[in-house]
């Protein structure tokens, strides 16, 4: 019986060696194979943004954000969109520290980068 279990385990390991099982807890997102092009495109788009641009106009320029946050503070609504711009880990997943945040106040872009998040939120 032990030999059968060992043989089954070895066979299963060999057959499943090409499979990847990933679980996301909301703090990371899996990327497709062209992540470098996506990061470069996001950096270029962000560098061309103008403060005061509407949320709707900005979202039209980008693919789906990697992360989003929203909060109401002092009677205003703040939204933060995170777009992947710089890979720090070679694990095929995106974390917030690999993204550039875009900060909106009442649906108008008021800043981007971590300093904007720190300043407004």
Q: What is the pLDDT of residues 78-100, one digit of tens each?
A: 999 999 999 877 677 889 999 99
Q: Which is higher by pLDDT, 32 or 18?
A: 32
CATH architecture of 51-120: 2-Layer Sandwich (3.30)
Strand partners of residue 78: 71, 105
Q: Which residue has the higher pLDDT, 12 or 83?
A: 83
Nearest C-alpha neighbor of 65 from the set 40, 83, 46:
83
Task: For 8-40, give the secondary structure using H, E and C.
Answer: HHHHHHHHHCCCCCCCCCCCEEECCCCHHHHHH
Q: What is the CA radius of gyration of the chain?
A: 20
The lowest-confidence range among 12-21, 22-31, 48-57 is: 12-21
Give the confidence band of 17 by pLDDT, cuts at 50, 70, 90.
very low
- Please tell me the distance from the alpha carbon of residue 113 to that of residue 104, in angstroms, as a whole number: 12
**Residue 30: both structure tokens together:** 């899996």
User: Given a cut of 50, is residue 52 above it in pLDDT?
Assistant: yes
| Spatial distance between the Cα atoms of 24 and 93, rounded to a whole number of angstroms | 9
Domain residue ranges of the chain, discontinuous segments joined by +: 51-120
* pLDDT score, position 36: 86
Q: What is the mean pLDDT of the chain?
A: 80
């Amino acid at each position: 019986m032990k030999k059968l279990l060992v043989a089954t385990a070895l066979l299963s390991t060999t057959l499943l060696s090409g499979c990847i099982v990933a679980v996301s807890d909301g703090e990371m997102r899996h990327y497709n194979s062209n992540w470098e092009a996506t990061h470069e495109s996001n950096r270029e788009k962000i560098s061309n943004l103008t403060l005061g641009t509407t949320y709707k106009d900005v979202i039209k320029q980008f693919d789906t954000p990697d992360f989003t946050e929203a909060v109401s503070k002092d009677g205003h609504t703040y939204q933060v969109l995170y777009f992947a711009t710089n890979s720090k880990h070679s694990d095929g997943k995106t974390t917030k520290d690999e993204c550039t945040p875009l900060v909106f106040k009442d649906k108008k872009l008021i800043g981007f980068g971590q300093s904007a998040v720190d300043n407004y939120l």
